[in-house]
Amino acid sequence: MDKDLNNFQVCDRDLDDATLSRYLQAEAIAVDTETMGLVLGRDRLCLIQLCDPDGYVTAIRVEVGQTAAPNLKKLLETATITKIFHFARFDVAQFKYTFGIETQPIFCTKIASKLARTYTSSHGLKNLIMELTGVELDKSAQSSDWGNADNLTEAQLSYAANDVRYLVPAREKLISMLKREDRWELAQQCFQCIPVFVSLDINRYNNVFEH
C-alpha cells in the first residue's frame, strides 16, 4: 500500500453513516467501480471507490446478490454534489442496474477529455491523469479477480484507490480548458445525456441515434 494508507478505508455493503456525513459536505466526489467484467447484467459489481476533494478514499465491498445500498444512494442522488467519473456511462449503469440508483449530477472526465483535448486520441485514464497531474498510474491490477472481496490484495486496493484519487484535480483542469475553448456548455449538455444512454444500455438498445 502506498503512503496514502491513512487516507483510505474499506467498508462492507454500504457507506457507514459517518463517512456519508463527511462526503455530503463535499462539492464534488470522485467515483469508480470494479466489476467481474464489462457486460452489464452478466458481470456483477464488486467494489465501489469514492474520493472527496481532500483525498479521503473509501472502497465499498459489494456482496454477491446485494440489491441495495441506501447511504450510497443518498450520496449519488444528492443534487448539490457533482459525481466525477471516468467513462460515467459504465459506472452509472452499474449503479442503476444493481441498486436502482439515479446518479446525478454527473461529470465525465472521458467526455470532457474528448471535447477539450482534441489534439490527441488518447483519452484513457492513465494518459489523461499523466498529462493533467503528472502522476503515472499503475494499471497492472486492472484485469484481476475483483469478486474475491475478502482477499483483495494491497496491490488491488492501491490500484482501486488511485483510480479515484486524481479525478477531482483532473476535473478542475478540464473545466478550465473547456471554458478557454468555449466548449464548457456543450460538455454540460453531454453530461446531461448520460442517463439516457444508461437507460438505453440497460434495455439493450444499440445505436438508436444512427441512420
Residues of the shown chain interacting with Mn ion in the complex, contacts defined by CB under 5 A:
32, 163
Q: Toward Mn ion, which CB reaches closer, 135 or 196?
A: 135
The CB-of-159 to Mn ion minimum distance in angstroms stands at 7
The CB-of-141 to Mn ion minimum distance in angstroms stands at 9
The CB-of-129 to Mn ion minimum distance in angstroms stands at 12
97 within 8 A of 75, measured Cβ to Cβ: no
Which backbone phi and psi does 13 adopt, to 5 degrees?
Answer: 70, -40
Q: Toward Mn ion, which CB reaches closer, 143 or 207?
A: 143
| Dihedral angle over CA of 87, 91, 96, 102, nearest 10 | -60
Answer positive or negative: Cα dihedral of 33, 49, 161, 163.
Answer: positive
Give the integer Cα–Cα distance in Å for 139 and 19: 27
The CB-of-79 to Mn ion minimum distance in angstroms stands at 25
The secondary element (H helix, E strand) that includes residue 11 is strand 8-12
Q: Which residue is nearest to Mn ion (CB)?
A: 163
The CB-of-163 to Mn ion minimum distance in angstroms stands at 4
203 within 8 A of 122, measured Cβ to Cβ: no
Q: Toward Mn ion, which CB reaches closer, 14 or 32?
A: 32
Q: Toward Mn ion, which CB reaches closer, 46 or 178?
A: 46
Q: Toward Mn ion, which CB reaches closer, 81 or 157?
A: 157
CA distances from 41 to 28, 62, 95, 101, 167 (A): 28, 15, 11, 15, 27
